[in-house]
Amino acid sequence: MTRPSRHHLTWPQRLIVGAFLLLLLVLIVVLSMRPWRMLPPAWNPWAPLAVEHAMTPVTRNKLRRLKHAPAADCQAILAQVPEDKLHFLPLEDYTPVAGCPLTNVVRLHHTSVAFNAPVTMSCPLAVAWVMYEQQALQPLAQRRLGQPLVSVTHMGAFSCRNIYHRENARRSEHATASALDVAAFELRDGRRITVLVGWEGGRREARFLREAHEAACDYFGTVLGPDYNAPHADHFHFGTRGLRFCR
């Protein structure tokens, strides 16, 4: 019995080869058109992150990857924000306390809100905060309280310590300035809403705080509040570690 020549394919073989070549041609045409360019930036995995991008699974993944991106890439995102919505200063890497070196950090002076004091935090945390503030926190204040927020009272981002100051615990997110503790919000009409009092306080204020806590879970890897444990009774903890640990 003679074997089929490589130059004389059977009909089934020709059909298989033809289908493969057709598929290859379609793939080449599709790639040449680059259809992903037609995706909205918030859904385009290849589009650079921007603070105005809606929070989608793609955007959330970009935020997570930002922790491992070059500092210049992260700072470029902040640099695109208008000056009236963000005043920040990039900082050189330094070690403020032995054992807790800081890399890729910035100092926020103000965003669309004033802070009780300038705060030094990791650049990825700053991007997450600005996105959360602009996309969720300010609209929520308008919707629930009829006023924009004008200031935020924080308890700092950097603290060279282990979790709960325990000797044998792992390092806190605060040891790398990757978490911000927020204690209070002030509205344009002068109303001040504290986490300590407002969480179980008046109906509108409590709803605002609880929805602000819930909304933060889309932007930060770890979000902790009064329902988590007693140490968080007076503040929200917004950190970049983890994958949507929200308590």
Regarding whether 146 and 67 lie in a shared domain, the answer is yes
* pLDDT, mean over the chain: 90
Q: Confidence class of residue 30 from pLDDT cuts 50, 70 and 90?
A: low
Regarding whether 129 and 29 lie in a shared domain, the answer is no
Regarding whether 187 and 116 lie in a shared domain, the answer is yes
Residue 6 has pLDDT above 60, yes or no: no
Regarding whether 49 and 151 lie in a shared domain, the answer is yes
pLDDT of 1 reads: 47
State the first-to-last Cα distance of the chain, in angstroms, to the nearest integer. Answer: 74
Tokens coding 203: 């109906």
Model pTM? Answer: 0.83
pLDDT of 3 reads: 52
Regarding whether 179 and 87 lie in a shared domain, the answer is yes
Measure the CA–CA gap between 199 and 246, rounded to whole angstroms.
Answer: 16
pLDDT tens readout for residues 141-166 = 999 999 999 999 999 999 999 877 77
Residues ≥6 apart with Cβ < 8 Å to 194:
153, 183, 184, 234
pLDDT tens readout for residues 81-125 = 998 899 999 999 999 999 999 999 999 999 999 999 999 999 999
pLDDT (average), residues 205-220: 97
Residue 58 has pLDDT above 80, yes or no: yes
Regarding whether 21 and 128 lie in a shared domain, the answer is no
1 belongs to a structural domain: no
